């Protein structure tokens, strides 16, 4: 069959050959055995409803074995035989271009060079799934191929519920992931209900089809590292020869060594999964690989002596690196961690003293013992960091729930007041006040032609727009503007593309809208092909996450989720091509609600109207909420926007003198 015929058939008419499982692929961790016998029967019953009754006898045995072996039913047999990658948009069989763009983005998320565990439909973060199983993928692609401009596809945690009559101005796809009743949103609830096949963890941009490989976080990571060094270095010092020590290379964390190179430091990144480390090395995202701790110490000392800019991946446990650098008296200027501690018991964090394979066996066969090992490792990890911090290391939590899980393990990470952590979140110290409160966040786009020349042209368009804005920008945001101009003019040189021809750029509402308008004009003039706009959920408005995106909200509302819900609803009727809302994300199931969007620019007047309304709300919704929380930078930004946009009227807080409150209670 041709690619188009394969897409159009959906579930095959004939039962495909049984899938050959290979250990050479980077597979998802085996999930723990959490279902009762009756629940396992229900999981198989749920899986079989995708297929005709004549196949049930064969598939029931097969799916039961998958559940036993992997803790999930992935339906490997139904994985398509064609190569998975983002094709040029015109190659997709579709009734409308918006549907074709979504098909392109789905395939990019599942491209083996992009996805962390492609055969399990997991894009990043250890469990960030596009779909729960391959039947859902096949049906979704078939629905999209047949969709018209007056239909919307509604997706329940990877399951395509169906095409419903809609309107041309409505989103073509509405995605929900993990929307649990609050009392059923603990980590084990995800394990149970995902195993049953009724919900999934969409992470952030995995389940919303907007992942663009590690580039998706590399800009924010670069900004974070650059500004962290600005906090610790003297005025005339540079970051060359200074050490940034962290962990994680599997998914989004793979951006760290590339960001360190761009920021101009020595990056040491530990990763226990050798396949993940080698993948980043082969992609050119890390300069040096080493298995040996002695070699690592010698190489870092050499780099310090020569004021090098270099990234080094240590294939091993980061706890050993922190401890060895302490005894060797290697000074670490910056420290962090980007392992997937939002899922600490299922392969997100590997304890020191266990090999990668031994840990994976323990996850499946001795989950309670594994939990004890993880918590002991976290205490040892935190103790080593504390020794470095006493020497002057600036350690920050990278929003991966490191401090949260370390505190739950009983590690020494709490401040003297017993309430706060002794180390800041990077959002509290850097991205919150310096970017999000001003409206700057990770705007991104994908050139649907697949042509690198289109990406070059969009880079140039974006640079020119930012330079024009910068001429009249207030002093408060000049640093942000300059960092972004520098970023976009060096983007091609830094070789950031993995998978689709995509780019990310931190921009505010003005920048996003003007860049998008310029793109739409270029498309109308046939200078470039259609462009998909989107963003990371890790942004100004999209995410309510008290330990990350909204950790610099101090009025108590950091534990509410109104902003994210308002964001996805508001985007949906202002012109988004698709919208998504998820439970989970980068800090854990039940810890965050986050929303995203996608928008196709096709050069039309309608696209111009949609982008003006939607991009404005998508950013200013969050600035308004942040200003109501009394954040000074957000107050500046929303007042400035109200001056420019008379139709915008936002409730502003009346500030209270501290002395008035001191003796009230």
Opening angle at CA 293, ends 117 and 279, nearest 5: 25
Residues 260 and 192 reside in one and the same domain? no
Is residue 384 a part of any domain in this protein?
yes
For residue 214, pLDDT over 90 is answered with: no
Whole-number pLDDT of residue 185: 94
Q: Encode pLDDT of 582-601 as tens digits.
A: 999 878 899 999 999 999 99
pTM of the model: 0.90
Whole-number pLDDT of residue 259: 93
Q: Which domain-ending residue is among 401, 426, 451?
A: 426
Residues 187 and 235 reside in one and the same domain? no
Domain, as residue range, for 243 = 214-426
Residues 457 and 477 reside in one and the same domain? yes
Residues 131 and 105 reside in one and the same domain? yes
CATH assignment at residue 566: 3.40.1770.10
Structure tokens at 369: 């013992």
The 10 Å Cβ neighbour count of residue 214 is: 27
Tell me how far apart the alpha carbons of residues 121 and 319 are, in angstroms, rounded to a whole number.
30
Is residue 662 a part of any domain in this protein?
no
Is residue 437 a part of any domain in this protein?
yes
Residues 146 and 256 reside in one and the same domain? no
Top-confidence residue, 400 or 44: 44
Q: Encode pLDDT of 227-259 as tens digits.
A: 999 999 988 899 999 999 999 998 777 889 999
Summarize the annotated binding site for NAD(+) as residue ranges.
Answer: 125-126, 203, 271, 398, 586
Structure tokens at 290: 């080493």
Q: Which domain-ending residue is among 196, 226, 247?
A: 196
Summarize the annotated binding site as residue ranges.
Answer: 125-126, 203, 271, 398, 586
Report the share of the chain in percent with pLDDT over 70: 100
Q: How would residue 226 be classed by pLDDT, with cut points 50, 70 and 90? A: very high
Whole-number pLDDT of residue 599: 98
Whole-number pLDDT of residue 426: 92
Q: Which domain-ending residue is among 426, 447, 464?
A: 426
Cα-Cα end-to-end distance for the chain: 75
Q: Encode pLDDT of 181-193 as tens digits.
A: 999 999 899 999 9
Residues 356 and 462 reside in one and the same domain? no
Q: Encode pLDDT of 546-579 as tens digits.
A: 988 999 999 999 999 999 999 999 999 999 999 9
Three-class HEC string of 538-580? CCCCCEECCCCCCCCCCCCHHHCCHHHHHHHHHHHCCCCCEEE
Whole-number pLDDT of residue 343: 85
Is residue 658 a part of any domain in this protein?
no
Number of domains the chain contains: 3
Q: Encode pLDDT of 302-357 as tens digits.
A: 999 999 999 999 999 999 999 999 999 999 999 999 998 988 998 899 999 999 99
Q: Which of 150, 143, 87, 124 is nearest to 203 (CA)?
A: 124
For residue 630, pLDDT over 90 is answered with: yes
SS3 635: helix
Q: Identify the bridge partners of residue 289 per DSSP, sorted by sequence position.
A: 313
């Amino acid at each position: 069959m041709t690619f188009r015929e394969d897409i159009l058939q959906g579930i095959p008419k004939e039962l495909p050959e049984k899938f050959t499982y290979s250990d050479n692929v980077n597979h998802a961790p085996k999930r723990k055995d959490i279902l009762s016998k009756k629940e396992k029967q229900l999981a198989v019953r749920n899986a079989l409803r995708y297929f005709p009754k004549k196949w049930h006898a064969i598939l029931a045995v097969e799916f039961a074995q998958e559940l036993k072996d992997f803790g999930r039913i992935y339906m490997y047999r139904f994985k398509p035989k064609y190569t998975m990658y983002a094709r040029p948009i015109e190659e997709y069989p579709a009734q409308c271009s918006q549907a074709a763009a979504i098909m392109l983005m789905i395939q990019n998320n599942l491209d083996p060079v992009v996805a962390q565990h492609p055969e399990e439909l997991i894009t990043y973060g250890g469990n960030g799934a596009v779909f729960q199983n391959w039947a859902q993928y096949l049906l979704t692609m078939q629905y999209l191929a047949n969709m018209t401009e007056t239909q919307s596809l509604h997706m329940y945690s990877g399951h395509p519920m169906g095409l419903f009559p809609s309107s041309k101005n409505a989103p073509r796809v509405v995605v929900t992931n993990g929307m649990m009743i609050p009392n059923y949103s603990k980590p084990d609830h995800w394990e149970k209900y995902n195993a049953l096949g009724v919900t999934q963890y969409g992470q952030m941009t995995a389940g919303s089809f907007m992942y663009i490989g590690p580039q998706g976080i590399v800009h924010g990571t670069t900004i974070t590292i650059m500004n962290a060094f600005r906090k610790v270095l003297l005025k005339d010092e540079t970051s060359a020869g200074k050490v940034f020590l962290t962990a994680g290379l599997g998914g989004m964390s793979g951006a760290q060594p590339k960001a360190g190179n761009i920021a101009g430091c020595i990056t040491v990144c530990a990763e226990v999964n050798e396949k993940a480390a080698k993948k980043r090395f082969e992609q050119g995202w890390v300069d040096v690989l080493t298995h040996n701790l002695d070699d690592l110490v010698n190489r870092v000392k050499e780099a310090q002596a020569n004021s090098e800019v270099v990234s080094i991946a240590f294939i091993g446990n980061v706890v050993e690196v922190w401890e060895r650098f302490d005894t060797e008296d290697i000074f670490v200027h910056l420290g962090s961690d980007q392992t997937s501690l939002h899922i600490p018991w299922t392969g997100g964090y590997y304890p020191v003293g266990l090999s990668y394979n031994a840990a994976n066996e323990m996850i499946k066969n001795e989950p309670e013992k594994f939990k004890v090992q993880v918590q002991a490792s976290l205490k040892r990890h935190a103790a080593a960091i504390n020794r470095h911090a006493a020497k002057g290391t600036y350690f920050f939590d990278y929003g991966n729930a490191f401090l949260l899980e370390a505190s739950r393990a009983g590690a020494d990470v709490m401040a003297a007041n017993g309430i706060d952590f002794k180390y800041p979140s990077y959002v509290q110290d850097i991205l919150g006040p310096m970017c999000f409160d001003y409206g700057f966040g990770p705007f991104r786009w994908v050139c649907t032609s697949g042509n690198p020349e289109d990406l070059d042209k969009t880079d140039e368009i974006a640079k020119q727009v930012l330079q024009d804005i910068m001429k009249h920008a207030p002093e408060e945001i000049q640093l942000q503007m300059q960092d972004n101009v520098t970023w976009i003019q060096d983007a091609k040189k830094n070789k950031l593309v993995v998978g689709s021809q995509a780019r990310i750029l931190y921009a505010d509402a003005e920048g996003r809208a003007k860049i998008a308008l310029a793109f739409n004009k270029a498309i109308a003039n046939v200078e470039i092909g259609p462009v998909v706009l989107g963003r990371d959920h890790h942004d100004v408005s999209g995410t309510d996450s008290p330990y990350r995106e909204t950790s610099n909200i101090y009025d108590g509302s950091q534990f509410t989720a109104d902003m994210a819900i308002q964001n996805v609803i508001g985007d949906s009727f202002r012109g988004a091509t698709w919208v998504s809302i998820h439970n989970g994300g980068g800090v854990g199931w039940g810890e965050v609600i986050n929303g995203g969007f996608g928008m196709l620019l096709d050069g039309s007047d309608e696209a111009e109207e949609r982008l003006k309304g939607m991009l404005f709300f998508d950013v200013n919704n969050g600035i308004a909420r942040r200003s109501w929380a009394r954040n000074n930078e957000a107050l500046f930004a929303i007042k400035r926007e109200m001056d420019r946009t008379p139709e915008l009227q936002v409730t502003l807080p009346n500030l209270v003198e501290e002395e008035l409150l001191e003796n009230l209670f």
